[in-house]
Structure formats: structure tokens, C-alpha cells
Structure 1
Amino acid sequence: MRKILIPTDFSENANNAIEFAVNLFKYDISEFYIMHAYQDDIYVNESALTKANLADVKSEMRKKSQKELENTIREIENISPNPRHTFYPISANNLLIEEADIVVDDQNIDIIIMGTKGKTNDKKITFGSHTLQVLKYVQCPVLAIPENYKYTQPRHILFPTDYMIPYKRRELKLLCEMASPYRAVIDVLYISKIEKLSMRQLDNQKFIDEELCKNTVNFKVEKSKHIINTIYKYLKENHVDMLVMVNTRHSFLENILFQSTTIDELSLNLDIPFLALQNMKRKNI
């Protein structure tokens, strides 16, 4: 049973992420939790709020959220009817990141899938503020789908790593089971000026190979000190369908996510799905 959380603000980007998710897991028995956290919407026009009308505004927002979730699920089931899939609406007077944390823990979610941007859709950035917060702080794998990206079977996946991370079996299993129905090739890319691996790195490399055993795995080396540029070049030259990175302390991805200048640099103009695995302890694992 696959459990997928999909936050939505009912934008085109959010709907596109939902459509991608149901296609990606079309072979899996899956539960989809379609979540709308609407607290920000209550206070978007704060100058018009008073103590007298606040309760009414909250009630109206709750009803609107629930209705839009019902409509969204109805549209999904019409577009992509699949007896393996079950949909659950979650409407919450909460902040997106707070509610996502709650749902991830309560439902033991396997993966969050969301658009890289929401309603604001700033063309100058790769990740919107909500997506970036979820990538940084929610302890669950996150698959971010670019604006207007049309579903393509993931046949070629790039997984850059320095082999210094003690990977999680659960998350590598998720990647393996996402890729194997499509016979995807996974290129594990080591970017360094030094090709020789330490014993720790070799051990972690072996663990990756064992956990991704259902797939064709190619271990690649690029001699470079420019990680972002090397990843970007590899994506473009090798027709990659999905980028996978692991977020943990001192990892490639942590450096990217927590340094705003690097985020701008990463703007890779990332036009393929981006899967961030989270190498952090989950409460129910």
C-alpha cells in the first residue's frame, strides 16, 4: 500500500502535480491524501477582518476548502479512474508545513508530491516558498513537479551523491519501486576532483546497489568541483527524466536548499521532476 500526500491550493500547478501522481503510481494500490491548508487565506485581507466577523470568515473558508477538495477529487476520478486508488480530502485551518507534518506522521506517508510553485507562480524562481519549506523541513520524501510538466514515464533517473550519507532503506526502496515498473536506468553520479572512494563511501555505494537491485544502476564519476554546473550539464546531455537527491546534514542538497545564493544558482531552470529524499529520523519508523 502506497500512501501519498498531495498539498493543493487548487492552482493549475497543483492540479498538474496531482495528475502526475496518479499516473506515476497507476500500477500501485495507493491512498492519496489531497490536502488544503487554508489558514493563510483567512488572513489574506486582514484589513477587512474584525473580531465580529472572524468566525464567519473562518466558517466560509472551511466550506469553500471542503467544496473545492470534493470537486478536485471528482475531477481526478473522472480523468483517471483506477480501482487501485482511493482519495481522501483533508481541509485544515492550519499552515501548510504544519499540517503536512501532522499528516505525514498520522498517516505514515511514503511521499509528498506537489508543484514546484503555487498560485503566485514567480517565473524568476525554481521553487515557490511553500515547496521550499516542505523540502527543507518536512521529514518525508518530496517529489516536486515543474510548472506545465506533462507526465512522462521516468526511464532515466539521475542520483548525484558523495556516498558519505548512511542512506535509509525505506527511502531507497521507494525510489526502487517507483522506477522498476518503467525499467528505469538510474545513474548514480559521484562528483569530485578525487576518484578514489574511502571505505565508508564504498560501503554506502554497495548499499545503494543492493537496495536498487530491481533496476539497472550505472555508477558514474565526474571529475569536477562545480557540483551545480556538473549536475545541470549531465541532465541536459543525457536526457534525464527525474533528478533525485538526498537531504541530510552536509549533503549536496542541504547546501543547495539552505543557501539562497545557491538556490538561485540551482535555478537549473529545472524542467523535470525533482525527488528529495530526507535522511532524517521519522517518529514512526
Structure 2
Amino acid sequence: MKKVIIPTDFSLNAQKAIDYALDLFKNETCTFYILHGYHNAPSSEMSKSATQKTLDILIKSLELQNEDQDFYFEGILKTESVINLTNHTQNIINADFVIIGTKGSSALSQIFIGSNALDLIEHLENSALIIVPPEYKNSSAKEIVLATDYKHRFTNTELSPVLKMVNLKETTLNIAHVKTEETLSNEQISNKELLKNELKKTKHHFFEIELQDNVAYTLYQIEKENQNIDTMVILKTKHGFFKQLLRENIIKNLSAKTKIPLLVLPQVNN
């Protein structure tokens, strides 16, 4: 049985993440854990009991709407931050994915500013995170793109979430080398060969793209030039261009909008 954590603030963007998850796992047996971190403060719009009632109504609605699916729903509300509640739940259930919606005009732009999604990207432990932009629409797009600079040696554990998604979507995995130098080092060549070996049972192919201005804009260009891309994937590394993404002024540098989900893979510490 698959397990999925979905934090919610009961907004339309949060509902977008739920809808995405229901579609992604439509052919699977799956338990969805719908989380709400309650803020016990004078500025809170609803009391905790009213918030619990809202969560209960959402869970009941999801159960009724998905009676023909092999789905199970569990609502969890606690007085703590979204990131703490998500990490605590993940440590208990070991979910396959955490899925969250993001507000704003662009997934790649808005997730890197102050928000629940940013907190989850920076501090979520041991879980793959899918960020669903509000503009995303289910389509016939079939390709998943894993962006890498070959400076990291992928493990099977790190690749497991993206391979699960490839199987769920019955799609192709494209590995995009974002070129940050003219030639590959010996270490990069070795990492690429090891990655090929890990993917030998998966339909895939490799391609290269020049770094353009900044990493975020380069990722957007990959999407723009291939309308068949459904999901962009990056690894949350301590070094390399993931950290560059966090340093970049994404709002200023990303001039166009992305409309596809972003899958952030957790790095496994050896």
C-alpha cells in the first residue's frame, strides 16, 4: 500500500495538491494523511475545534467522492508548525511522498520564498516532496526530467521516488545534464556511468543543456522547449546547483511561468 502525506490549509492551492495526489495514485491502493498544523494564536481565524470540524468534513467529502477507489483517508490536526507535524508524521509512517500545493504564479519562483513549501524543502527529512503549482493541469504529457550536474553519485534509495513516479505515470525518464563546465571531470563521468547502471531497467535517455543565466531559468527553458514534460525532478544536495537555486533571486531572474510539478528528492547521507 502506498502512503502519501498532504499538508493542507484548506485553500484552493491545498486542494490542488489533493487532486493531483488522487489522480497520481488512481490505480493504486493508497492511504492519504491530510495534515493541518494549527496555529494557536490570537490571529487565528478559527478555533481549534472549528478547524477540526473543517478537517473532518474534508475527510468525509474525500471518502464519499472516492468510494470506487481503493483509497483511505486520515485527518491529523495538531498545534504545531507544518514542518514539525510533517516530519513527525513521516518518521512514524514512512510515506512514499509528501505533496503540497504552492500559491503564487510559479512553482519554481514561489517555493523559494517564505512559505510552508519553502520550509518543507529546506527542512523536510527523509521524504520525497512534490510541489504542485496552481496552474498545473492534468495532461497527456508523458516525460519526467531529472536535472543534474553529475557532481553527485546517486544511490538507488535516492532514485527510488522518481522511479516510483515513472511507474505510476508509465512514462520515460529523461536525465538533463545542466552544463556548468566545458568538459566533465573524471568524477562526473563516473557518476554518470553509475546513474546509467541504476536506470538500466527503466526507459530513459540522456541529454545536455547549457546553463543559461541561472539554474531556475535553465530549468524553465527545459520545460518550455519540451511540451511533453510532466514533472521536473531535482535532488536536494548540500552542494551543487540545488544550493544555487536557494541563493538565486528567483522572483527577479525567472521571467516566465512554469506550470508543472517539481519533485525534490532527499539526499541520503552515507
TM bucket normalised to smaller: 0.7 to 0.9
Q: 1:246 aligns with which of 213, 229, 235?
A: 235
Distance 1:64 1:208, change over 3 A: farther
Match of 1:52 in 2: none
Give the letter aligned to residue 132 of structure 2: I
Using the TM superposition, give the Cα deviation of residue 278 of structure 1 relative to its aligned residue in structure 2, in angstroms. 1.5
Q: Does the CA contact (< 8 Å) of 1:3 and 1:31 recur in 2?
A: yes
The counterpart of 1:274, out of the listed 254, 262, 265, is: 262
Query: Which residue of 2 is the match for residue 16 of structure 1?
Result: 16
Deviates more, 1:5-14 or 1:244-253: 244-253
| Bigger-Rg structure (1/2) | 1
- TM-score normalised by structure 1 residue count: 0.82
**Aligned AA (2:115):** S
Give unmatched runs, 5+ long, in structure 1. 47-56
Query: For structure 2, which runs of at least 5 residues remain unmatched after alignment?
Result: none
CA 1:261/1:24 → structure 2, altered by over 3 Å: closer, same or farther?
Answer: same
CA contact (8 A) 1:37 1:95 kept: yes
2:65 alignment partner in structure 1: 79
Report deviation, 1:222. Answer: 2.1
- Which runs of 4 or more aligned residues in structure 1 lie more than 6 Å from their structure 2 counterparts after TM superposition? none
Distance change in 2, residues 1:280/1:268 (3 Å): farther
Q: 1:221 to 1:150 in 2, by over 3 A?
A: closer
Change in CA separation of 1:225 and 1:14 when aligned onto 2, cut-off 3 Å: closer
**Residue type of the alignment partner of 2:240:** S
Deviation, 1:148, is 4.1
Cα distance in 2 between the residues matched to 1:96 and 1:109: 16
Please tell me the residue identity of whatever aligns with 1:203: S
Classify 1:189/1:62 alpha carbon distance in 2 versus 1 (closer, same or farther; 3 Å): same
Partner residue of 1:174?
A: 161
Task: Determine the C-alpha separation between the residues in 2 that align with 1:134 and 1:216.
Answer: 30
Match in the other structure for 2:176: 189
Q: 1:113 aligns with which of 99, 108, 118?
A: 99
Q: 1:90 to 1:193 in 2, by over 3 A?
A: closer
Q: Which residue of 2 aligns with 1:256?
A: 245
Judged with a 3 Å threshold, the aligned counterparts in structure 2 of structure 1 residues 194 and 203 are, in CA distance, closer, same or farther, namely: same
Q: 1:92 to 1:153 in 2, by over 3 A?
A: farther
Question: Is 2:124 aligned against 1:138?
Answer: yes
Q: Closer, same or farther in 2 for the Cα pair 1:274/1:63, shift >3 Å? A: same
**% identity of equivalent residues:** 28
Partner of 2:204: 217
Which letter does structure 2 place at the counterpart of 1:16? Answer: K
Greater displacement, 122-131 / 235-244: 122-131
Give the Cα–Cα distance (whole angstroms) in 1 for the partners of residues 67 and 191 of structure 2. Answer: 40
Contact 1:97 1:138 in 2 (8 A): yes
Aligned residue identity for 2:226: N
Other structure's SS at 1:241 match: strand
Equivalenced residues, count: 264
| Normalised TM-score (structure 2) | 0.86
The 1:214–1:228 alpha-carbon spacing in structure 2 relative to 1, beyond 3 Å, is same
Match of 2:47 in 1: 61
Give yes or no for contact 2:63–2:72 (8 Å, CA) kept in 1: no
Displacement, 1:61? Answer: 2.7
CA gap 1:62/1:211 in 2 versus in 1, 3 angstroms: farther
Contact preservation (8 Å) 2:8, 2:34: yes
Q: Is the Cα contact below 8 Å between 1:24 and 1:153 reproduced in 2? A: no
- Letter paired with 1:237: E
Q: Which residue number corresponds to residue 187 of structure 2?
A: 200
